[in-house]
């Protein structure tokens, strides 16, 4: 099989994308695939042409383009299968305020939030309770994200988001246990417990990508009841947003409530990333996981997701 591996792009998560792609390429080659590489930052105008010469595409993009559905739409137009969500599901999951609207309407617990598409006027005050998180509404990897304890810390946190070129999402903090749960195909994998190291108050960029930045325990050492609840809610979110292939939903658990924070449609894909860890606990090593994602991509094509 000839696979077009698409990675890089021009978001502030470009380096994360390229680092993961190097590991994915090794896994694709180990499964017997022929691999072509494409960086949208360099060959955006050739995506359809390059993809049409391949049997499938494998996306390892973070932020926009990639998680926003743009590349997926171009691949659909070219009639080329790819792993993961289609354009609509990708866009809804990336835009946290949109996804949270749908979750709230579906009865899925999610922390209260405010969406600020532009900087607020002088004298504005949030209606949310402190502490809260300020994050890019359509960003990832916890870049430009801050935990705000008091009113005086809010303005610089918002400035960090707006100066990075994003609308802002404010979200009430939930103090509890952080879990993440992946869905592969139509099955929820074992949840992972996340404990940031070094006294960090949340799973920030450093925690995610630095060696020893966080303790990630899979399967999570929680009750069978909580495991089942988180798995059920991860599947519910996956289906609610019309996702396919793979997704990863992040939770904060307080008491008996698992609050959905956000959904990742192109989660990190290195052998030590969260989804591969959960897959390994289910008996899939990294090359087997990559092969399974390609199988799911081809199955989506057989079901008619792609345009002829």
Is residue 141 part of the annotated active site? The answer reads: yes
Question: Which pair of tokens denotes residue 18?
Answer: 């390229």
| Closest by CA position to 59, among listed 279, 206, 74 | 74
Is residue 264 part of the annotated active site? The answer reads: yes
| Closest by CA position to 124, among listed 132, 112, 116 | 116
Is residue 250 part of the annotated active site? The answer reads: yes
Please tell me which residue in 146, 244, 264, 273 is annotated as part of the active site.
Answer: 264
Please tell me which residue in 141, 142, 207, 247 is annotated as part of the active site.
Answer: 141
Report yes or no: 28 and 81 within 8 Å, Cβ to Cβ. no
Please tell me which residue in 262, 273, 291, 300 is annotated as part of the active site.
Answer: 262
| Closest by CA position to 66, among listed 9, 26, 149 | 9
Beta-sheet strands, E only, within 130-256: 132-136, 146-148, 168-172, 177-184, 187-188, 192-196, 214-217, 246-254
| Measured distance CA(157)–CA(147) in Å, rounded | 8
Is residue 15 part of the annotated active site? The answer reads: no
Is residue 209 part of the annotated active site? The answer reads: yes
Please tell me which residue in 12, 209, 247, 291 is annotated as part of the active site.
Answer: 209
Parallel, antiparallel, or unpaired for β 56-60 and 113-116? unpaired
In degrees and rounded to multiples of 5, residue 235 shows phi and psi of -65, -40
In degrees and rounded to multiples of 5, residue 12 shows phi and psi of -75, 5
Please tell me which residue in 13, 39, 76, 171 is annotated as part of the active site.
Answer: 13
Alpha helices in 95-209 (DSSP H): 96-105, 154-163, 205-209
| Closest by CA position to 179, among listed 99, 257, 92, 93 | 257
Report yes or no: 202 and 135 within 8 Å, Cβ to Cβ. no
What is the SS3 assignment for 12?
A: coil
Is residue 301 part of the annotated active site? The answer reads: no
| Measured distance CA(50)–CA(221) in Å, rounded | 45
Parallel, antiparallel, or unpaired for β 168-172 and 132-136? antiparallel
Is residue 291 part of the annotated active site? The answer reads: no
Please tell me which residue in 76, 178, 216, 250 is annotated as part of the active site.
Answer: 250
Report yes or no: 93 and 250 within 8 Å, Cβ to Cβ. no
Is residue 262 part of the annotated active site? The answer reads: yes
Please tell me which residue in 248, 273, 291, 300 is annotated as part of the active site.
Answer: 248
* Residues in the chain, total: 308
Please tell me which residue in 8, 268, 291, 300 is annotated as part of the active site.
Answer: 268
Residues annotated as part of the active site: 13, 141, 209, 248, 250, 262, 264, 268
């Amino acid at each position: 099989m000839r696979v077009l591996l698409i990675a890089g792009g021009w978001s502030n998560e470009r380096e994360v994308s390229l680092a993961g792609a190097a590991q994915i390429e090794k896994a694709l080659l180990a499964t017997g695939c022929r691999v072509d590489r494409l960086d949208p930052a360099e060959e955006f105008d050739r995506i359809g042409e390059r993809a049409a010469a391949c049997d499938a595409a494998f996306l390892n993009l973070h932020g926009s383009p990639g998680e926003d559905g743009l590349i997926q739409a171009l691949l659909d137009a070219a009639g080329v299968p790819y792993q993961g969500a289609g354009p609509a599901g990708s866009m809804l999951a990336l835009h946290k305020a949109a996804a949270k609207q749908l979750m709230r309407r579906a009865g899925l617990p999610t922390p209260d939030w405010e969406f600020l598409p532009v900087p607020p006027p002088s004298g504005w005050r949030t209606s949310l309770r402190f502490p809260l998180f300020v994050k890019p509404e359509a960003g990832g990897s916890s870049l430009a994200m801050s935990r705000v304890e008091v009113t005086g810390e809010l303005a610089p946190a918002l400035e960090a988001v707006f100066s990075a070129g994003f609308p802002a999402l404010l979200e009430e903090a939930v103090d509890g246990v952080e879990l993440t749960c992946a869905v592969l195909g139509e099955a929820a994998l074992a949840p992972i417990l996340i404990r940031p190291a070094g006294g960090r108050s949340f799973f920030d960029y450093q925690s995610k990508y630095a060696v020893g930045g966080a303790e990630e325990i899979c399967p999570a050492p929680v009750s069978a009841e909580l495991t089942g609840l988180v798995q059920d809610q991860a599947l519910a979110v996956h289906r609610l947003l019309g996702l396919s292939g793979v997704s990863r939903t992040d939770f904060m658990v307080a008491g008996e409530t698992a609050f959905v924070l956000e959904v990742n449609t192109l989660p990190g894909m290195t052998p030590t990333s969260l989804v591969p860890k959960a897959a390994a606990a289910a008996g899939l090593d990294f090359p087997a996981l990559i092969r399974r994602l390609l199988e799911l991509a081809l199955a989506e094509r057989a079901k008619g997701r792609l345009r002829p």
